[in-house]
Amino acid sequence: MNELTISLKTGDKVPLYEQIYEYIKEEIRKGTIPSGEKLPSTRSLCRYLEVSRSTVELAYEQLLSEGYIEAQPYRGYFVSQIEGLYQFDGNRGGQEEHERETERKYEYDFTPNGVDLNSFPYNAWRKLSRECLTDDRAELFRLGLPQGEYGLRKAISSYLHQARGVNCSPGQIIVGAGNDYLMMLLCAVLGVGHRAAMENPTYRQAYRLFKNLSYEVCTVDMDAKGMRADALENSGADIAFVMPSHHYPLGTVMPIKRRMELLKWAEEKEGRYIIEDDYDSEFRYKGKPIPALQGYDRNGKVIYIGTFSKSIAPAIRMSYLVLPDSLFALYKERCGFINSTVSKVDQLILQKFIEDGYYERHLNKTRALYRSRHDTLLAALKEMDPGIRISGENAGVHLLLHFRDGRSEEELIRRAAEKGVKVYGLSEYYVDGRETAGETVILLGYANMNEERIKEAVRLLDDAWRKTQ
């Protein structure tokens, strides 16, 4: 498939990337675009629709995050195997209800995956792009190093040491196009025969990747401090996937004592590793920043993964993997021949963006922006029903509301939707479909709405949810 004819409404309140996302999603759900079908490349589709490439990339990023499509290195984007989503019974009433739901437009969207793209430093990025293309242009378009360009890896190494307490050299870093690609690469490095333990609730994308790559996957229950080390020991796993800086979706920040317990677990047996996804580590609103778990590792047991998608923009599609020295030889042997999935041009732009101080200034600006929205949301929520408990508000760009009055997740989401507000339930993040006993939990993200819109959206939620009591 080389083209997709989509009728875009340029003056509509719905952003263009969301219109593209909705169109492709519905075509997939209806089966018009079948499983396994290759989608147009972002470059060809943006030209065909006459929109920016970043618009198409944002749409694809959302489809990727929801599992509608898959990115295959060197091949492109393909529709996932999701036949069950578009097999309906003959009940026309149910079909009409589905159509009404998919056509519903939300005035306010509390997506926990939001990013404020209005704050992106477009002028600085444009300036650096011109400078890079003015330099040694021929060299930029030659095939780069498999790990990523040394200059960028050096800049990332310096940033990680200063900002996150990560101890690494440029030689330990691998740059790739997104976390999904790097996770697949890591599985190829580690090889088969492993049992991976994940927190429950969990980051479903990583869970799906492990399962699809034929890993045995189990879940380990959490307490208020994160993954329990005793439960991890009993799981029989030799790989633990954790998000200690800010667990997604619960927002838990793992304390030092629990981190030390996990490191002790990894050190007790040969071949055990911890994969640390440093999710949302840049955004913290209470207490002193806790260094990354990798910074406490003295025995090469922690594999660190991070991304610029949340701190800069999803369309950057640049992530990084920090391998312990003990695994680097395996990487060279098993994957050292795989070329980098990120263009040298983009790598050089990002390198200059970090080295020239633009990234630090952008982070400071974004932190202040998100803190203001975080504080506005908390203040507005405190005016609601005092029986609603708030958690996960100390870091990241989303928080959780806990209801203990018997109302179901489905009812709360439906009531909010009737007011034009989209909220998200916690149940979809549980691998076994369960939820915290006696509670219904709703996620509210605040990155993509300004303060006034947050206040209005919470007012509508208050109105919607108070009427159910």
pLDDT values of the chain reduced to their tens digit, one per residue, 469 residues: 667 888 888 777 788 888 999 999 888 888 888 888 899 998 888 888 888 888 888 888 888 877 788 888 888 888 887 654 444 443 444 444 444 444 457 899 999 988 888 888 889 999 999 888 886 667 777 888 999 999 999 999 999 999 999 999 999 999 999 899 999 999 999 998 899 999 989 888 888 888 888 789 999 988 989 999 999 999 999 999 999 988 889 988 899 999 999 999 999 999 999 999 988 778 887 766 678 999 999 999 999 999 998 888 888 889 999 999 989 999 999 999 999 999 999 999 999 999 999 999 999 999 999 999 999 999 999 988 888 999 988 888 999 999 988 889 999 999 999 999 999 999 888 886 555 567 899 999 999 999 999 999 999 999 999 854 4
Amino acid at 354: I
Q: Please, are residues 226 and 199 in contact by the beta-carbon 8 Å criterion?
A: yes
Q: Please tell me the CATH code under which domain 16-103 is placed.
A: 1.10.10.10
Name the fold adopted by 108-119+360-466: Aspartate Aminotransferase, domain 1 (3.90.1150)
Question: What residue spans define the domains of the chain?
Answer: 16-103, 108-119+360-466, 124-356
Q: How far apart are CA 327 and CA 129, in angstroms?
A: 35
Q: How far apart are CA 144 and CA 150, in angstroms?
A: 10
> How many CB atoms sit inside 10 A of residue 164's CB?
21
Q: How far apart are CA 271 and CA 327, in angstroms?
A: 10
Domain 124-356 -> CATH class: alpha beta
Q: How far apart are CA 79 and CA 27, in angstroms?
A: 10
What residues have CB less than 8 Å from 349, skipping those under 6 apart?
125, 128, 129, 132
- Return the pLDDT at 323: 97
Q: Exposed, middle or buried by CB within 10 Å (0-12, 13-18, 19+), for 105? A: exposed
> How many CB atoms sit inside 10 A of residue 468's CB?
12
Q: How far apart are CA 37 and CA 39, in angstroms?
A: 6
350-357: Cβ within 8 A, 24+ apart: 350/152, 350/155, 350/308, 350/316, 350/318, 351/149, 351/151, 351/152, 351/155, 352/128, 352/131, 352/132, 353/124, 353/125, 353/128, 353/312, 354/152, 354/155, 354/156, 354/159, 355/155, 356/128
Residue 170 has, within 13 A of its CA and on its CB side, a CA count of: 13
- The structure's pTM equals 0.75
